[in-house]
Structure 1
Amino acid sequence: MTVSTRSGRLLRLWTRVEAHGLLTVATVLMAVAMGVMVVEAVSRYGWGVSHWWAEELVRYLVVWSMLLSIGVASRRGHFIRMDLLITALPRRAQLALGWVTVVVGVAFCGVLLYASVIEVRHLYRIGMYTESNLDLPLWVVRLVLPVGAVLYGLYFIGCGARLARGEDPFRAARRDGADPDPESEPATARAPTVAPVTAADAVPDSRPRPVIETRPDPGLDPGLDPAVADGGVR
């Protein structure tokens, strides 16, 4: 098994973990945050009651959801990319700028990981808790910073692996679940268009039909046509 084959399998495995694991957790956290915001808004404007824990909990849930999904969102092209100048450059220049992006991204994630680990260790050592009465250990809340740094760094490392194969990993991905372009399919693969059969077409028509009676033309010579001479069509 070659190195490229192993890296391809690892990349596919990690893609499944992101899509079915991290993205699901991030979606649940964001849904809970939205539910808490709705409850807080209805309670505040409907009954004049405000919950002291709602604002802080929503803030933590949104941060966790964003940092857990930042890698998969970037890989799928869900962030805005200013590529007006990049698309006008030659292919080699685009790949070179891609490598610059990878190096800067990995460096940023490394700095974030280093600083966040120091902060989490410090908060764990002093035993600080959150401001509200939730009394959550602050090091647990800030633990998402090094986790997000690792996830984002893995995204840039994957981009570097694709750049090494000559691909462009920064192109915006097609929306999930989008139907393929029918014009891109070969003509032989397209099924012919057939009108659907309705219930009215399947039931035979039982209405009486008019009987057409054929009579001989008096202007014709009966001797020329035996059928006319007999008085009708055989």
Structure 2
Amino acid sequence: MSGLIKLNNLLARLAYLLGTVIVAIMVMALSLSAITRYISGTGYDWLIELPPILVCWLVFPLLGPLLKEGSHIQVDFLSGYLTPRKMQFLKVFIYFSALLSAFVFFKAGLDATLLYFRLGQMMELELDIPIWWMYLSFPVGFFILLLFALELTISSISELISPMSKVR
């Protein structure tokens, strides 16, 4: 388990670094596009097309770290009605559901990526980028989510069954 925690901590740092770099590239591309249009009256289409291409690489690798931090989308109305013990059961259910979902989406993303890789299709943009490159963010991100959900599932189950658990 400690190996998984160390791996996930490393993956979280890398995902946040990747996200930071992508946001910086997006801001710089849009700013450069505005500056060139202002100065020359014309702009480069690829500067406008680049940010939407990078969004999937911004979002999917961050799913796991955001789940672990509790910063992912959540609705928190049950905690006021459930006992701490029942909340722990709910956490196990949520993390296990995330684990199963991550596996399903990882497999689907991998299949789609391999399909587009074999087809060799390119995006119809000013930039020649293969379509599979965008789809690769799905299996990468959902594999990271799978690892984080596995860690959270194991830790929440161990907290639940631990004899020293304060959750009653």
Q: TM over 0.5: same fold?
A: yes
Question: Within 1, Cα distance between the matches of 2:159 and 2:121?
Answer: 48
Question: Within 2, Cα distance between the matches of 1:124 and 1:34?
Answer: 29
Deviation at 1:22, TM superposition (A): 2.6
Alignment partner of 1:89 is 2:103 = no
Percent identity between the two aligned chains: 23
Matched with 2:71 is: 78
Report the AA paired with residue 73 of structure 1: L
Structure 1-normalised TM-score? 0.62
Question: Secondary structure of the equivalent of 2:42?
Answer: coil
Match of 1:141 among 121, 134, 141: 134
Larger Rg over CA atoms: 1
Structure 2 regions of 5+ residues with no counterpart? 161-168
Contact 1:87 1:94 in 2 (8 A): no
Match of 1:151 among 133, 144, 151: 144
Report the AA paired with residue 30 of structure 1: V
Question: Within 1, Cα distance between the matches of 2:96 and 2:9?
Answer: 25
Note closer, same or farther for the CA distance 1:113–1:15 as it changes in structure 2 (3 Å cut).
closer
Structure 2-normalised TM-score? 0.84
Matched with 1:127 is: 120
Deviation at 1:131, TM superposition (A): 1.3
Question: Secondary structure of the equivalent of 1:165?
Answer: helix
Question: Within 1, Cα distance between the matches of 2:13 and 2:103?
Answer: 26
Match of 1:163 among 144, 156, 163: 156
Question: Within 2, Cα distance between the matches of 1:99 and 1:164?
Answer: 6
Higher relative contact order (CA closer than 8 Å, sequence separation 6+): 2
CA-atom RMSD, angstroms? 2.0
Question: Secondary structure of the equivalent of 2:159?
Answer: coil
Alignment partner of 1:32 is 2:10 = no
Deviation at 1:65, TM superposition (A): 1.6
